[in-house]
Structure 1
Amino acid sequence: MSAAELAALTATELVRRYAERSLSPVEVHDAVQAVIEAREPVLHAFWVRDAEASRTQAKASEARWSSGEPLGPIDGVPVTLKENVARAGVPMPAGNAGVVPTIPDRDAPITERVLESGGVVLGSTVMPDWGMLSSGVSSLHGITRSPWDPSLTTGGSSSGAGAAAAAGYGPLHVGSDIGGSIRLPGTWLGLTTLKPSAGRVPLDAPYLGRCAGPLCRSADDVALLMSVVAGFDARDWTALPPAEIAWDQLDLDVRGLRVGLQLDAGCGLPVEDEVRETVERAAELFGAAGARVEPLEPFLTPQMLADLDQFWRVRSWHDYHRLDADQKSRILPFIVQWVHGGADVSGARVLECYQTIMALQQATVTATERFDLVLSPVAPVRAFPAEWPMPFGFEDLGMVHIGFTAPYNMSGQPAASVNAGFSADGRTIGVQVSGRRFDDLGVLRAARWFEQHRPADATPRWPIHDSPPDGAGQQGTHQ
């Protein structure tokens, strides 16, 4: 097999082949590194990468498989971690050229679990400044580009993780999400992703709406990674209690499921026609298989989205105003403009925004509780130019693009993305699959069901090549 063919294998396939001794972790590692070397000069997905260290991990895995004693379910599988997932001794600048990076003295719970399961950590992937952009634009890292077409965005803030997943930098990638940062790269890169229930994957720095989860090329790989990183850890004071979840039992019969179809968020950017039509076709597939598909009316208001944006601006202003003049000058100008919208905001106004977020949380749970699943767009628009910090360019329009994703961060409900089609010009379009609180497995089963039943022309043929892309222009194709 060529390096690209090996790099395109799923994690579940790799583990099977390691067990039968038809493939070795070192062979896979070296193939993935060849793909990275070829593509990384254009894509810019990594913040820190040490090929020698990861090859040492792969060699240790190879020895374990040879003796029939793998450490865990992902032993020998290449993995990347977003730069805000702590790795002992690895600086965490949060994509920002203006800060002095934190250097953690211990691994995050996620990192520990990946290593304890034998995952081969290739490195830390990039993010935009403070994770507050839905693109791959960073004052520290430059521009991260789509493997499908380098002229297009990856989405963000899990920009490096998304690019790595679609480009074949191994099959398993961990991102984080506070308003859509896992699912937005998902829709704009054709990936299958999961924003887990709040507290399902333990963090060492929990915050309202924040979670971490997988970005992969298949639902089976998402489930495999969740089997490793999900679970209780006392360091996360918001962590859910221990739970036995059968991540390997993904079969689903959708007959009789009550499925909500939401095509209007009630606020934000209008949904493009191709996006709407793609989500409608996905819903028709569920309906044809026996699900009861019903419309779900908008439950957010423009004020809810504006107050959420205001709350985040104040949080980032708090970080920004403590920097000195030189540090401030190095931050991305768009972010500087955005954080100034949080300057001199009264305590009463901040509390008002917090109360709005609680109302948003209540509205989301109340509106969706009667459904087993809700289908919606992930984002109202298709992938945009890689140089743009936001889907609307360089204007300051707040967070008008996350009306479909942010509600589930605030409510803590699980939500996945899965590719549902391609636009006329070849851009990927995902559908969001959300569920009731704590039903991560139900959401993932539905995503996998859709993967297995979507038409061929909605199924990605991944843009994984031995040779690097040569600039703008479509690199991948779809069937």
Structure 2
Amino acid sequence: MSDDLIYMPATEALARFRDKSLSPVELLSAQIARAEAHHETLRAFTYTYFDEAMQAARASEARWAAGDPIGCLDGLPVAIKDESHIAGKPTSYGSLVTQDFIPDETSANNERILRAGGIVHARTATPEFSSAVVTWSRLWGVTRNPWNPEFTPGGSSGGAAAALAAGMTTLATGSDIGGSIRVPASCCGLVGFKPPYGRNPDDTPFNLDYYCHTGPLARGVQDSILLQNVMCGPDPRDIASLYPKLTLPTDYPGLDGWRIALSMDLGSFTISDEVRRNTLAAAETFRGLGAIVEEVDLGWGVEVQDACHTHLGHIFGGELTGLLEEHADDLTSYVRSLAENAGESRGRDLVRSMEIAGAAYKTLGPLLERYDVLICPTTALPAVPADFDSTTDSLDVDGTPIGTTLEWVLTTPFNMLSRCPVIAVPSGRADSGVPTGIQIVAPTYRDPIAFQAALAYERAVGGWFGSAATRPGL
């Protein structure tokens, strides 16, 4: 098997389908072989549809041979997170409680991917009910990072990130309610996009929670644009989805003359030396592109983190409390803890978190009038152990103890300030081999600005996964 084949960018694969130098069957066969070879170690996939997918690849091959592809993803393997729906196929949400659930309707994003010719060959692992930033469950076991299996690939879209980093799929979907796209992107050296709230449709009830976003994960910026342009746009089943559809350009000018704000800790996070080093190196890359990069003080304190925890605990935890009476013994430790703690939350606590969100934007909004984008680390640590349990284990950053749930990720403030598009890109690697990343935060609903910065940065560093030296040593 050629690693160049399994890591081929989606845009290149499509060009080669078009000139008939590559078949969708060849690409999918190589990625299935890769998945089967490393399943026991990585556990990136839950349900697989390899035979059905091969039939779809053969049909795609015939369409390309006739010069008649059905859409812009025709023949590309796309792994779908095991929380959204495909009619007639199980969706487990990573839980023993819902392992037998089979939806009768397909989620809007998945409908669009299938209609564009994407081949869904697998579902990707999540923590139970997507409620952690690590990926393990009692149903599916521990999902591990291809760069170093001792560490997590992040969560909750951890299976998607592990599959992409290992060459098991070309594209993958994720969702992000507290960092669940951006954290795995950082831990696995990928590009992950959190669209602004409403840009991509979602399923009820979480389509109505402004912290919640669905979006793409990919190994490169243009591949991310490709999938985002498919997922984006209004859907009649989702009142929060935005009209009109925004179609992103695939190319952008450079950054000469840009002004970029840098925050190393968003005011209250404790950052490891390795993450700090790589973030500063990324800032230098932007300077080399002709941008002015200045460190700024957002004026945020720990109250911002606390408000994010309050919102997620109240809304997300509240949704899970109904499981306690009948299923407490079936739940993971982290879901049980979240559900139990949600019982202590009151409506006034939620309102207070909203007041803090408003105060936080009163500094970020004007800042993004003076600067084109804000950059900051995605995570405070490169990653935590793969089997990390926030209810029993402890965490420290270079010897300084921190909290154990969301305190090691810098993503939640931008779920709170959810109308800002945020793209996560790699910033380097730690001594453990695990990647690190930065977030690029653009002004509200100005998605192209985030992608312009990300694409210029990617080109400056030469991209990712382009050679054996820049891929996991599996």
Same fold at TM > 0.5: yes
CA contact (8 A) 2:232 2:245 kept: no
Structure 1: which 5+ runs fail to align? 466-473
The residue number in structure 2 matching 1:470 is none
> For 1:108-257, what aligned pairs fall within 5 Å after superposition?
108-205=107-204, 206=207, 207-248=209-250, 250-257=251-258
1:175, distance to aligned residue in structure 2 (A): 0.4
Deviations 1:349-374 (A, max 9, x none): 33333433444455443443322111
Q: Which amino acid aligns with 1:36?
A: A
CA contact (8 A) 1:98 1:327 kept: yes
Task: Find out whether 1:475 has 2:455 as its counterpart.
Answer: no
Q: Which amino acid aligns with 1:231?
A: G
Structure 1 pair 462–71 and aligned structure 2 pair: CA distance change class (3 A): farther
Of the structure 1 ranges 180-189 and 124-133, higher mean CA displacement relative to structure 2 is found in 124-133
CA contact (8 A) 2:182 2:192 kept: yes
Of the structure 1 ranges 343-352 and 255-264, higher mean CA displacement relative to structure 2 is found in 343-352
Structure 1 pair 434–450 and aligned structure 2 pair: CA distance change class (3 A): same
CA contact (8 A) 2:308 2:412 kept: no
Structure 2: which 5+ runs fail to align? 396-402
Write the distance in 1 (CA, Å) between the matches of 2:308 and 2:147: 32
The residue number in structure 2 matching 1:309 is 309
Of the structure 1 ranges 307-316 and 441-450, higher mean CA displacement relative to structure 2 is found in 307-316
CA contact (8 A) 2:333 2:391 kept: no
Q: Percentage identity across aligned positions?
A: 30
Task: Find out whether 1:432 has 2:439 as its counterpart.
Answer: yes
Write the distance in 1 (CA, Å) between the matches of 2:89 and 2:364: 38
The residue number in structure 2 matching 1:444 is 451
CA contact (8 A) 2:148 2:433 kept: no
Q: Which amino acid aligns with 1:378?
A: T
Q: Which amino acid aligns with 1:238?
A: A
TM-score, length of structure 1 as denominator length: 0.90
> For 1:407-426, what aligned pairs fall within 5 Å after superposition?
407-408=414-415, 410-426=417-433
Structure 1 pair 155–390 and aligned structure 2 pair: CA distance change class (3 A): farther
Q: Figure out how many residues of one structure are paired with residues of the other and give that number.
A: 464
Write the distance in 1 (CA, Å) between the matches of 2:357 and 2:406: 14
Task: Find out whether 1:260 has 2:258 as its counterpart.
Answer: no
The residue number in structure 2 matching 1:400 is 407
Q: Which amino acid aligns with 2:435?
A: T
CA contact (8 A) 2:94 2:128 kept: yes
1:172, distance to aligned residue in structure 2 (A): 0.5
The residue number in structure 1 matching 2:399 is none
Of the structure 1 ranges 292-301 and 281-290, higher mean CA displacement relative to structure 2 is found in 292-301
Task: Find out whether 1:348 has 2:348 as its counterpart.
Answer: yes
TM-score, length of structure 2 as denominator length: 0.91
Write the distance in 1 (CA, Å) between the matches of 2:273 and 2:391: 16
CA contact (8 A) 2:16 2:22 kept: yes
The residue number in structure 1 matching 2:295 is 295
The residue number in structure 1 matching 2:4 is 5
CA contact (8 A) 2:310 2:349 kept: no
CA contact (8 A) 1:4 1:464 kept: no
Structure 1 pair 366–87 and aligned structure 2 pair: CA distance change class (3 A): farther
Of the structure 1 ranges 9-18 and 344-353, higher mean CA displacement relative to structure 2 is found in 344-353
Write the distance in 1 (CA, Å) between the matches of 2:435 and 2:384: 11
Pairwise CA RMSD? 2.4
Write the distance in 2 (CA, Å) between the matches of 1:246 and 1:132: 30
Q: Which amino acid aligns with 1:7?
A: I
CA contact (8 A) 2:334 2:389 kept: yes
Write the distance in 1 (CA, Å) between the matches of 2:465 and 2:8: 16
CA contact (8 A) 1:8 1:464 kept: no
Of the structure 1 ranges 277-286 and 421-430, higher mean CA displacement relative to structure 2 is found in 421-430
Q: Which amino acid aligns with 1:263?
A: M
Structure 1 pair 165–80 and aligned structure 2 pair: CA distance change class (3 A): same
The residue number in structure 2 matching 1:469 is none
Write the distance in 1 (CA, Å) between the matches of 2:466 and 2:434: 11
1:4, distance to aligned residue in structure 2 (A): 3.3
